[in-house]
Amino acid sequence: MDFSFSSDQEELRGLANRVLTDRCTMEHLKEIEDAGGIDLALWRELADLGIVGIGMPEADGGAGLGFAEVAIVLEEVGRTVAQVPAMPVMGMAAPFLSEYAPAHLAGLASGERIVTVALHELVGDVHTPYLSAAGGTLTGVKTNVPFGTVADGFIVSAADGLYYVDAKASGVTVERQDATDGIPDAKVTFNGAAAEKLAGIDALDRLIEYGQTSQSLIMAGVTAKAVEIMSDYVKERVQFERQIATFQAVAQRAADCRIDSDAIKLTAWGAAMRLNDGLPAGENAASAKYWASEGGARVVRACTHLHGGVGVDRDYPLHRYYLWAKKQELFLGGTTQSLLHLGKLLADTPV
């Protein structure tokens, strides 16, 4: 069985990699961070190239391709730590809206609009929201909303289902939250805000599956690049007149990093291809999220450790990958929550 990408998919990967690598130099990333943390100019450039809409319907300005193509882009975003809303827009909102509310896809492929997801509450688990919905309005608070400060609309989880809320609607208040990776999240308060119900509560799990898989794909890119940076360093760093890569302890720990990084990629792509084929992906997404959280943390810690003091230099590239890994580790639930959810899925599966 051939698991290789098609020539068109390889061309897409090459295009995304070239554009993101050329733009996302460490100097540019720092400039964007100092200017607010979100690179909307790069996002519009990706949209002009057709990359943002790669998985969106042709009727809405997209290319009409599948989630596999979206996955390719997400992995490259992770490799370059590009400060663009690829995960919430391409990985979550677009596939969900394509199925439940195509009218709200307008302007997403062109980069003119950004729709994000508001799933985390101040306490509790993302799988069991408590936000109140009554009479076509929402009341409550969502926290750590990705790219919420620049969003035009929100897909919001409530106790009885999923809703769409316009960011400019009366009763919506958006507050910036500074995040670990330098890209701001938002705390969004809904005070009787007008909301359109998109789907029942059963659809929430599918939206989270897309989110966990998208995170894991980004983490696959983050950890792969971190391992590359570490590998180059230990092959060049000389101690006791030898490259430190020749020391057994260093080599073993570097090998563990590669194993974890490959496991993240394998599980992420396993979940991505089930989503691409329209198959149930709950267990696969939860497994991928576990590896992204647990394995991702191990990789960036080890890579930092193997660099010695250089690893904690904020101007050294590896530090940015460490911060990205920490952010992705916790969004939509960390290691323990992922395992608990996976255990519940397995326990509920008939034998």
Tens-digit pLDDT profile for residues 282-315:
999 999 999 999 999 999 999 999 998 887 888 8
User: Where in the chain do CATH 1.10.540.10 domains reside?
Assistant: 7-105
Q: Measuring CA to CA, which residue among 223, 229, 194 is closest to residue 329?
A: 223
Where, residue-wise, is CATH 1.20.140.10 in the chain? 203-347
The residue behind tokens 């789907």 is 199
**Cβ(118)–Cβ(148) below 8 Å:** yes
- Local structure of residue 334 (DSSP, 8 states): -
Q: Mind listing the pLDDT tens digit for each residue in 121-131?
A: 998 889 999 99
Give 124-183 as a DSSP string: S-TTS---EEETTEEEEEEEEEETGGG-SEEEEEETTEEEEEETTSTTEEEEEE--TTSS
| Lookup: tokens for 253 | 């720990």
In whole angstroms, what separates CA 7 from the centre of its chain? 25
CATH 2.40.110.10 in the chain is located at: 115-200
Strands (E), the chain: 115-118, 132-134, 137-146, 153-158, 161-166, 172-177, 185-194, 196-200, 238-239, 242-243
CATH for 7-105? Answer: 1.10.540.10
Q: Which CATH superfamily is domain 203-347 in?
A: Butyryl-CoA Dehydrogenase, subunit A, domain 3 (1.20.140.10)
The fraction of the chain above a pLDDT of 90, given in percent, is: 81
Local confidence band at 2 (pLDDT 50, 70, 90 cut-offs): low
Q: What is the amino acid identity at position 169?
A: A
Cα separations in angstroms, 163 against 13, 137, 160: 33, 9, 9
CATH number at 115-200: 2.40.110.10
Q: Which residue type, as a one-letter code, is found at position 315? A: D
**Cross-strand partners of 154:** 116, 165
Which tens digits make up the pLDDT trace of 15-45? 999 999 999 999 999 999 999 999 999 999 9
